[in-house]
Every structure is written in C-alpha cells, then in structure tokens.
Structure 1
Amino acid sequence: MRRPYLRLAGGGVRAAPARPAKEPRLASSASVSGPSSRGRRLSGMVSGLDLGLLNSSRAGPLRRPIAGAVETGARVFAELEDLDPAAFESPTAEEEAAKCPQSVVRSADEFHGRRGRVVELPCGLTLGSHITVVATPRPAHAEGDPKIAVLREGEQPIMVSQFMMELQGLKTVDGEDPPRILHFNPRLRGDWSGRPVIEQNTCYRMQWGTPLRCEGWKSHSDEETVDGFVKCENWILDADGRSKESTTTWLNRLIGQKKEMNFDWPYPFVEGRLFVLTISAGLEGYHVNVDGRHVTSFPYRPGFVLEDATGLSLSGDLDVQSVFAGSLPTTHPSFAPQSYLDMSTVWQSSPLPNEPVDIFIGILSSGNHFAERMGVRKTWMSAVRNSPNVVARFFVALHGRKEVNVELKKEAEFFGDIVFVPFLDNYDLVVLKTLAICEYGVHVVSARYVMKCDDDTFVRLDSIITEVNKVQSGRSLYIGNINFHHRPLRHGKWAVTYEEWPEEVYPAYANGPGYVISSDIAGAIVSEFRDQKLRLFKMEDVSMGLWVEQFNRTRPVEFVHSTKFCQFGCIDDYFTAHYQSPRLMN
C-alpha cells in the first residue's frame, strides 16, 4: 500500500495545482439571476446525488437505515413541495405569550411523570428569575461504573452519592444532546480530591468548558466576584465532623493565604437530609443558595443567554419533592425560526458563477439549525459573497417535524444557499451529506478544491486560500487536523461495533469540523459511489480518510496536517475554529 506523503503546515509558497476545468453543470436553482427570483420550487435545490445507488452491500450495516431514511425522506419532500406555507403561519403575539407562563410548579408526582426528570421552562429565564428545588440526597451506594471507579482485586467498593442539576437548552437542537448552560454537580462523598466538592461547568455540543470546582475553601479575596458574591464559600470540617472555627496550616502558605481562615458551616448537602436549593439569575451570573445561605456563584459564559435555558434537568442520587420556577419571562424568546432569521436581501447568496471556482465550501447543517446558519451568513460567509472564486452552500436533510421543514423551505427559497439531501436526517447518516458536498463541488461548481465544515465552525477564508496555494502544482491534497493511528471505541455512547468497523485502527483522517480535498479526490469518490464500489461508515470524517487512503493507492496524496484547524475554539492564527455558537460567531 502506498504510504501517504505528509507535510506539516507552514511550507514554502507554491503555485496552485491546475485542475481540469469544465463547464459547471448548474442545477435549476443556479440559473436564478437574482434576489427577485426567489420563490422557486424546491426541486431546483436538491442534491444531484442518486441515493438509490446506496442500496448495495458496500453500504454495510448502514444499508437498511439508509433505505428507510431515503424512502421516508422522499415522501416528506414530496409533501413539502406541495404544502401551502399559509397552513403553518407563525402564531400571533397573543398566542406566543400564552405559551410563556410567569411561573412553573411541579410536585413530586408531576415531576416524575413529565419527560423523566426534566422540568420545561417554555420561554427560558430572564434577569431575576429563580428556581427552587426541594429534594433529599440518597444514601451512598457502591459504584460499579469503571469510568468512575476501578477496583483492584480485594479492594472494597467505592461508595458514591452525587447528583446533577442542569439548566439545559432543550429548544436549541432536536436529536442532539442539549447544551448544558449550567451544570451543577455536588459530590457528597467526594471524588479524586478525597473530599466533598461541587463542580460547575457548561457544555456545548459535547465540548465541556473549564470546570469551576468548589472544594471547601473560600475564593481568594483578589479573585473576581459575581454580582458581589464569591464564587465558592467554605465548608471544611474537622475529623470529628464539627465545623472548624479557624485554622492555619501549610495549605495556607501553599495557596498564598496569610490570614487565618474561618469556617462556620459544613458542606451543604447530607445524605438523607432534606434541602431547599434556589438558583437565581443575576446580572453577571447564576447564584446558588442552600437552606437560605449562599453556596456558590457561576459567572455567565460566552455563547449562552438566559433565554436559552429552557429546561431544568435533575439526575443522579436524588429524591425530588417539588420544583418551583418563578419570575419567568412572559414574552417568547428568540428560539423561533422567524426570530432567528434576518430576512434581508443583504444575506442572500449570489448566483453561481459560469466559470469554475477555486474553492467550494459545503457546510453540514441540521434542519432546525436556523440560528447557526444565520450566524454563518452574517460572519465569515460575507467573505464568500465578496469573492468571485469561492462558493458556499449549506447541506441539509429533512427534519422529522413538519413545522421545521416548512420554515426550512421558506429559508431555502429566500436565501438560495441551501442544498437539500432528500433523506430523513439521522446522525449516523451524516456521511450522505459529505457525499453530496463532493458531488456538488465536482459536477455543479467545478471547484479546484472542496472544503467541508460544520455550521458551528468559523472559517478564516483568506487563511484557507493561502494554505492550499502552498501545494505544489499537480499534487492531490488532503489538508486538516489529521489523526494518525486512532482506534475505534468499542464501549460507551460512541461505541463502534466490529460489524461496523472490523479493523483495529482507523485510516489517517482529518477531524470533521474542517478539512479540504482536491477536486480529483472528490471526483474519484463520486465515481466510486456511482459505480456502487464506495465503502460507507457512519463517521463521515473517518469515511473521508478511508476514501483518501484508497485514492492514495493509485496516486500520491499530500497529507497536510495542521492544528490550526482547531477543534476546541480559537487559537492564534487559526484556519477554522470549532464549537462556535451563533452568538460567538457574531
């Protein structure tokens, strides 16, 4: 097998490779001449990918789910084309206001009967909103989860008692884990620290932020406060379980504390003892009081606002007696598509050029990601609209909810930058959108390079263009943050079975939030697909690595690895930045 030619980013400037130039085969949507022509039928905005060709053994374990998703998607799409949008007009202000109660109350019986242990806050929170939870921590139990406690032979089980209280963005994304706007996690028997702690954090699209841990020591006097409150209060106990009045130890010197530290109350949660906890929303952050005393304050983090917190989730070792949320907003926030979308002609896409382009950017998106797409249009896609040699389009499948598809249809017809891949969306079938991106880049816009990214990725277009232009003329290119010798996970939420991936190691592959391939690779992928020879895998970035590896057997590929395709946010001189919420985009 031919070994990949590897280059780290930062080489000398080289001429751009000359790719075969051919007249683009424009879809009917591409022939629309300007904003005044919006309102065409959806059939002109559909990917040219023939999904029926996937009904072959090369699809492997995906063959059956693909067939079901394609069949359902075709039916939903046909219904959507003939649907009268007037039948789904946006509700009036009075109707919206009726959905926003000023308070929400759940008793123990009601709480357990509604979506498990989640209380919906229909319109989120606002300044001054507060949530009170009355509950009792359960007694500790032996922990058997190997991710929490690994026991050696002869050791006693580790006893654990903990619970999670989370403000979540239930209305942000359907079919994905909701973002944790506030993760509040008391661990009564402690964790690796060996003493009771409270850990707080945020999580956006499975990417956790930096935790704030309260371990019994009061925040330093020089540390920033939240609305005048310290982030962490005291709760250190002595060996007899009594509150310490004062102490001066080596730890004082270690942490730079010169004065005596006073501790006047214990850890706020006790197994089997009822507590009353209140979370309140201040100007600078969330404040948590237990039994009338301040425990911790958590500053707001970028990317989230109070109206995003549309649900309270309670899980773990906890028996809930009641939940009361008060001072809630009585007007509808901006999670509705009509509030997210700025229907201005400024953000409409330009007609497709009649000549081949340098770069085509395909953006993976879900049907209900209205805010994400609008964030992209208003930021880095502006550079695309101003460049005659770059084209970008969103690739979207059909949603399971009719009202979402109706709004999506309106959005697509107005902005002209959405390409439908007609199957019912499923996370395991994202690879179909990647195939559609390759097909569009090769056969519709005749791009020299094809880039794939996600709708929560910020792209520095000028840096991408500069980097691909460093490649020696004629070389096939695969550029991104490349993983080598990665192994599939066989256990847990993201487990991959041996039927799905029998090998022990993945091929070299670039992380999915942003990578670039040359058009000859994209063309070969489409040809293999049409000949029903293309192997599919549910992880689209690994699939791309597999396809590039196959191409590399007959023609050398230049693998360009760069950490500037950043996975976790922004770094100096980044090419792409992942996990950017719509508000961070702006």
Structure 2
Amino acid sequence: MKRANLDLLLSVSRQRSMRVLIVMGLFYILFMGFEVPFVLKNGLGSVSQEGLFSNGNGLLNSKALALDSEENLEEKEAPVRPLDVPYKSRPERTPFSSLNFTAGIVNLSLESGILKAAKDALELGGRVLRELELIGKNSSDRGFNGVGSVNGSSSSNSELCPHSISVTGDEFSKKGRVMVLPCGLTLGSHITVVGIPRPAHAETDPKISLLKEGQYVMVSQFMMELQGLKTVEGEDPPRILHFNPRLKGDWSGKPVIEQNTCYRMQWGTSQRCEGWKSRADEETVDDLVKCEKWIRDDDNGSEESKATWWLKRLIGRTKKVTIDWPFPFVEGKLFVLTLSAGLEGYHVNVDGRHITSFPYRTGFTLEDATGLSLNGDIDVHSVFAASLPTSHPSFAPQRHLDLSDTWKAPPIPEGPVEMFIGILSAGNHFAERMAVRKSWMQHKLIKSSKVVVRFFVALHARKEVNVEVKREAEFFGDIVIVPYMDNYDLVVLKTVAICEYGVRTVSAKYIMKGDDDAFVRVDAIIDEAKKVPESRSLYIGNINYYHKPLRSGKWAVTYEEWPEEDYPPYANGPGYIISSDIANSILSDFEKHKLRLFKMEDVSVGMWVEKFNSSRPVEYVHSLKFCQFGCIEDYITAHYQSPRQMLCLWNKLRQQGKPSCCNMR
C-alpha cells in the first residue's frame, strides 16, 4: 500500500515537472519570437553608426541602453542594444593629411614664387614633422594639458596679479607706450591718464578725413585702447575698447570723440560723440548718457554761461541751470582722464566731468583687456590703474581646451555623407577651435555624422604649439595636420587638402570651406545646396564679379603673380560650397601638375571653378547671407566672430529658433 502511494506521488511530481518545462519552453519561444524581428529590423549597419564604439582592442562597449520611441529618432541619438558581433568601422587615420603635396608641386622649372615658397615650406615642414614624431615618442607618458606648453607649466600660472599699477611717462614710453595689465580688468577697475595733447600738424593722407591730391589738413588726435594682448600670439590684438578724441582733422570739421571695438581687423559700428547730448529716449549705460554736450564752436559761450549761472544764483533763482562746457581736450593743456569699468559699460571722465559712456559689446570682456596703449598726438605724464583683479580670470586663453568626451568628433560613417566642412585654422588658435566645437559643431546633423567637420592646421613656427596641436588632434579627432610650415600665401594648399579629404575620406556630396572665426548655420547651408538640382555642379557663396587686383599697398599683387587685369568670379573665403565633382577635378589637376596656384585662396578656387565651367556647366549661386564682414540678420555664415560671440550666436539660435547677431545691443 505504501509502495503504491509512493508511486502515485512520483507520478504527480513528474507531471508537475513536465508542465513547468513546457511553460518555460513556451516563454522561450515567445521571447525569441520578439527578439529575431528586432535584430532583423535594426541590422548591423545602423548599429555600427550610432551606438557602438570600439575601445581600440577590437572589443565592444557592452553597456545596455534603453531604446527611444520612433518619433524621437530624428531629434535624438538613438541608443541601441549591443550585439555579439564584430564591430565594423573605418580604419584608424593619423591626424596628418594623406595628400601627396610634393608630387603636386614638382614642376619648379619656372621658379614660380608660390611654387618655390611651397617647396621650401614643405621641406621645412618635413623636418619639423620628424622632430614632432620623436617628441611624441619620447613624451608619450606626459598628460595632455592643453595650455600651449609641453610640460604643462605656463608663465601665466606664476604671473602676479597686482591690485594696482603706476608708471611715469618715461617708463611708459620705454615700454612701447603699452602698460600690461596681467590679469585684465574687473567690475570697478579704473585707469587714470595724465597727459597733454600735442599741437596740430599737417597731414596729406589722414585716415580720418578725405582730401584731394595735393591738399593737406591740420590734425591733432590720440588713441587710447584696451587691448587683448594674450589672445593670439603673432596677430594684431583685439581692441576691446578704442577711444579716439579728434581735436582737429576729423572729416566733419568739428572736434569729436569716436569709440569702437575691433577683432581681426574688423571694426564694429562706431559711437561718435560730436557735441550733442544723447537723446532722452536713447539707452543709457549705468544710467549715464552715452554722449555729453559740449560747445561746438570756438567762442566764449562757456564763460558767458558760467557768469550767467553765478548771477542767477546770486539773485536766488531756483530753476536748475545747465552749464555748457568746451571740448574736454585742448592742444597744449594738461588733462586728467579716468576710465572706469561699470556694470553695463565703460565710463570716461575728464577733469572731473563725465564725458562719454560706451556699452560693453559681446565678445569683448573686461578680463581679456590685458593691455592699455596710448598713441598719437599726446605726451603722457603718468598712468595709474587700480582696483584690478587679484586672481586670474576663469576664461584665460591658456586654459581654454575643455578635455571632455562631449566635444569629441563623432565617428565617420562607412557610407557617403551629405556634406564635408573643412575649416582653416592656425596652430595657436586653440580658443577658436574650442568655440566652434562648443557651438555650431553641436548641430544634430554633425552629431549624427550626416555632416562631417574637420579643422585643417599647418605646422607652427613654435615647437611647443605643434606638440599641443598634435595632442589636441589625437584627443578630439577633428584636426587634420597639413605638413608644411604655415604661411598666409600658402593657405591654398589647405584648400586642396580639404578637397582631398572630402572626396576620398568621407565621399561627401558637397564640400564647404570655412574659417575658424566663422559661424555656420548647418541646416541653412544644406538647404542652399539642395536648391540646385543634383545633376548640376554648383558653386555657392558671396560671389565677387569683375574684381581687380590691387597693384599697390599692403595687399598688392604683382603682374608676375597675376598678369590678368581682372579676377574670375570668386566667392569670399570665410564660407563657400562646391559640389564633389569640382573638388575631384581640383584634386586630379593638382596630382597631374596642372593646377595653377595663387596666393589668394578664394581667388584660386574661383579660377579652378571657371576652368571646370568651360567643360561642364556650373551653377553659380550668389548670396549676401554668406557674410564676409561681421554678422547680418538672417545670416547663413557670420565672419570675424570672437570665441565668445560664437557661443552667443549658438545660444541665440537654440533659444530663439532663428539667427540673430550678437554684436548688437
């Protein structure tokens, strides 16, 4: 009986076990039924472009991520589930351009100026490159500091930040008429200048007046400037404030005070004080008017006004009486000028009276004002600066690189891309490149690798700059080093390298060239390119027609360099687009030694496009929205933008949803 009961229990137990196994089997079949369609739907190609990254050893990042809904896939990077399959990616590239420059300029029989310069720059660049490789091997254990020095130390780290500075006139002259402000200015800082304007002298070519040939004008003026001495070595420093009293010689024939800002030789809109008080409805600066009134004619109105004021005081008149003062600067008379930094702008007082106020402009900050210069018709007796910052500013150019994975370049997709943007940059433009990474390079078309962006940098004369650029390139993955010693006349070689990268590395449909101080609206340039039928070649930008070369002056072009009387139609250099067939033709002609090189990069491209147009029609598209000088409303590109202005433009574009300039108040 007991044995029968035991057999019954075992039979029931076996049946329960079988049921459990059957249920588990059903769950497994259901699970696989959902899993297989997921794998087939996503495929390997989409996975390789979006979610998986090799760690350098052929291993996969196996971190599980949640899936987004389908409606958000276009706006967000879609994380995907890792798969146990080998990850296919493009082979790792070195940060150096793969274009054979030597082969492209072998024809030196004519000893052409630009060809000879290119040959010399490439030979010197080759030697520097070999040294750079040795430095990289010998210093591989050193961390990347991103401050422009090999060992991580910077002179600015040990530099003192005095609370006040004073110099005599003789000391000021011996220092080149520049007083260094090591840590810039801060709110409440003030500078006092004691000086005497010199008597007027005759000039036949003044910059502040228009004269006919043979005429002259008497001029007396001086310029006081706050300059960003530490911004970029080897370039004209930005004028954070330009204060220019013109006692005599202005085109208006009256004494005026002109104030402005300047970045990379691009002046902003000037503020002129001509003796009229600012309108009551005009914006103020810390509740002070931008321009005070002064007597415009050289008469005795001032003395009469003061005498009348005292007379009315004596007879007890209670109504407020204003006094008209003369122009604050007089030839041969001592003045005491105080420049102070307020909450909204700069304020200038002369001999105890407020004269003018100038509002701060975006991109020009107090902490960047590391030098005061005084030039022109003035004898300086002494200069005092007080209430200066006692610590280094947080946005010092020496500490501008943000070594975060957020700013690294996305991987290059295996298939063709819509557009490639090559940006010309100088080796020591660390701040400019970082500003581009943090601004328009964060556009979703770039983050999704539909548009690829790379900086093209030649070798710098300073070894430590080259070392830092190489490390920067290896960290961010967005720099292509062109192996020649940088030279303004050889910028055209970078353009050829851009064409090579766009055609052979990323197989782009369109190729754009830009500058590191140009802000780009990525969606807008794609829209412009798509307006032209895909079957047609295109050349888009701010195109110049019938321009003639300058034969004299700083930018003179000799007849040996350009014998023709006119330039071909060409788009301004800060931003233009060409189709891939034109870029391929440029590259082919270069490698066949048929490409004519000219020192003006944008003119060279216009010349190459004109040659291509003779065999296949090219659609020229002209648009003023590719702004050559500064920024205009509804811009496509904005040029001469400082790093802070780049960030401001990006923030405005994101917040307002439309382009809006940052150099306007």
Give the TM-score band, short-chain normalised. 0.7 to 0.9
Residues 438 and 509 of structure 1: is their aligned pair in 2 closer, same or farther, counting only changes over 3 Å?
same
Structure 1 residue ranges, 4+ long, deviating more than 4 angstroms after superposition: 32-37, 146-155, 244-247, 259-263, 334-338
Distance 1:284 1:48 in 2: 50
Distance 1:99 1:237 in 2: 46
Structure with the larger helix share: 2
Residues 238 and 357 of structure 1: is their aligned pair in 2 closer, same or farther, counting only changes over 3 Å?
closer
Q: After the TM superposition, which of the residue ranges 446-455 and 231-240 deviates more from structure 2?
A: 231-240
Q: After the TM superposition, which of the residue ranges 391-400 and 233-242 deviates more from structure 2?
A: 233-242
Residues 337 and 203 of structure 1: is their aligned pair in 2 closer, same or farther, counting only changes over 3 Å?
closer
Distance 1:338 1:119 in 2: 20
- The answer as to 2:57 corresponding to 1:45 is no
Structure 2 counterpart of 1:113, one-letter code: K
1:229 to 285, 288, 307: 288
| Corresponding residue of 1:307 | 367
| Corresponding residue of 1:208 | 267
- Superposed counterparts of 1:357-396, under 5 Å: 357-383=417-443, 384-396=445-457
| Corresponding residue of 1:165 | 224
2:595 to 507, 521, 534: 534
Distance 1:416 1:127 in 2: 39
- The answer as to 2:233 corresponding to 1:174 is yes
2:122 to 70, 73, 83: 70
- Superposed counterparts of 1:506-517, under 5 Å: 506-517=567-578
Maintained 8 Å contact 2:204/2:214: no
Structure 2 counterpart of 1:205, one-letter code: R
Structure 1 counterpart of 2:198, one-letter code: R
Q: After the TM superposition, which of the residue ranges 42-51 and 464-473 deviates more from structure 2?
A: 42-51
1:345 to 405, 408, 411: 405
Residues 240 and 147 of structure 1: is their aligned pair in 2 closer, same or farther, counting only changes over 3 Å?
closer
The alpha-carbon deviation at position 464 of structure 1 amounts to 1.4
Structure 2 counterpart of 1:222, one-letter code: D
| Corresponding residue of 1:502 | 563
- The answer as to 2:391 corresponding to 1:331 is yes
| Corresponding residue of 1:316 | 376
Distance 2:56 2:189 in 1: 45
1:459 to 497, 516, 520: 520
Maintained 8 Å contact 1:451/1:516: yes
SS in 1 for 2:340: strand
| Corresponding residue of 1:54 | 105
Residues 220 and 95 of structure 1: is their aligned pair in 2 closer, same or farther, counting only changes over 3 Å?
closer
SS in 2 for 1:526: helix
Maintained 8 Å contact 2:544/2:572: yes
Residues 49 and 142 of structure 1: is their aligned pair in 2 closer, same or farther, counting only changes over 3 Å?
same
**TM-score, normalized by length of structure 2?**
0.75
Maintained 8 Å contact 1:170/1:310: yes
SS in 2 for 1:135: strand
| Corresponding residue of 1:402 | 463
- Superposed counterparts of 1:427-466, under 5 Å: 427-466=488-527
Maintained 8 Å contact 2:440/2:520: yes
Maintained 8 Å contact 1:244/1:262: no
1:355 to 412, 415, 432: 415
Distance 1:529 1:45 in 2: 22
1:142-183 CA distance string (max 9 Å, x none): 11216555555785x310111111111122122322211111
| Corresponding residue of 1:120 | 180
SS in 2 for 1:96: helix
- The answer as to 2:133 corresponding to 1:81 is yes
Distance 1:74 1:153 in 2: 51
Residues 320 and 508 of structure 1: is their aligned pair in 2 closer, same or farther, counting only changes over 3 Å?
same
Residues 97 and 420 of structure 1: is their aligned pair in 2 closer, same or farther, counting only changes over 3 Å?
same
Distance 2:156 2:218 in 1: 50
- The answer as to 2:476 corresponding to 1:415 is yes
Residues 399 and 105 of structure 1: is their aligned pair in 2 closer, same or farther, counting only changes over 3 Å?
farther
Structure 2 counterpart of 1:217, one-letter code: W
Structure 2 counterpart of 1:380, one-letter code: W
1:197 to 228, 251, 256: 256
Q: Point out the structure with max Rg over C-alpha.
A: 2
Distance 2:523 2:602 in 1: 23
SS in 2 for 1:537: coil
- The answer as to 2:196 corresponding to 1:136 is yes
1:448-478 CA distance string (max 9 Å, x none): 1111111122211112112212212321110
1:210-241 CA distance string (max 9 Å, x none): 11111111222222221122111122154435
| Corresponding residue of 2:64 | none
Residues 398 and 235 of structure 1: is their aligned pair in 2 closer, same or farther, counting only changes over 3 Å?
same
Distance 2:354 2:150 in 1: 47
| Corresponding residue of 2:35 | none
Residues 502 and 353 of structure 1: is their aligned pair in 2 closer, same or farther, counting only changes over 3 Å?
same
Maintained 8 Å contact 1:125/1:310: yes
1:97-137 CA distance string (max 9 Å, x none): 534333333333332232x3322222211112222222222
The alpha-carbon deviation at position 338 of structure 1 amounts to 5.8
2:358 to 279, 298, 307: 298
Maintained 8 Å contact 1:245/1:262: no
Structure 2 counterpart of 1:70, one-letter code: L
The alpha-carbon deviation at position 550 of structure 1 amounts to 1.3
Residues 352 and 238 of structure 1: is their aligned pair in 2 closer, same or farther, counting only changes over 3 Å?
closer
Residues 180 and 350 of structure 1: is their aligned pair in 2 closer, same or farther, counting only changes over 3 Å?
same
Residues 74 and 124 of structure 1: is their aligned pair in 2 closer, same or farther, counting only changes over 3 Å?
farther
Residues 385 and 275 of structure 1: is their aligned pair in 2 closer, same or farther, counting only changes over 3 Å?
same
1:373-421 CA distance string (max 9 Å, x none): 1121122112243333321101111222333333322221110000001
Maintained 8 Å contact 2:499/2:511: yes
Residues 146 and 265 of structure 1: is their aligned pair in 2 closer, same or farther, counting only changes over 3 Å?
closer
Maintained 8 Å contact 1:59/1:535: no
Distance 2:408 2:586 in 1: 30
| Corresponding residue of 2:635 | 574
Maintained 8 Å contact 1:218/1:234: yes
Distance 1:154 1:143 in 2: 11
1:183 to 226, 242, 245: 242
Distance 2:502 2:284 in 1: 51
The alpha-carbon deviation at position 339 of structure 1 amounts to 2.5
Q: How many residues align?
A: 537
Q: After the TM superposition, which of the residue ranges 227-236 and 297-306 deviates more from structure 2?
A: 227-236
1:559 to 612, 617, 620: 620
1:17-50 CA distance string (max 9 Å, x none): xxxxxxxxxxxxxxx955778xxxx981111223
The alpha-carbon deviation at position 334 of structure 1 amounts to 4.6
Structure 1 counterpart of 2:591, one-letter code: R
Maintained 8 Å contact 2:585/2:612: yes
Distance 2:169 2:436 in 1: 43
The alpha-carbon deviation at position 197 of structure 1 amounts to 0.2
| Corresponding residue of 2:310 | none
SS in 2 for 1:287: strand
Distance 1:244 1:452 in 2: 62
Distance 1:366 1:71 in 2: 19
Distance 1:471 1:568 in 2: 26
Residues 34 and 165 of structure 1: is their aligned pair in 2 closer, same or farther, counting only changes over 3 Å?
farther
Structure 2 counterpart of 1:192, one-letter code: W
Q: After the TM superposition, which of the residue ranges 466-475 and 409-418 deviates more from structure 2?
A: 466-475
| Corresponding residue of 1:251 | none
Distance 1:341 1:494 in 2: 34
The alpha-carbon deviation at position 535 of structure 1 amounts to 1.6
| Corresponding residue of 2:152 | 90
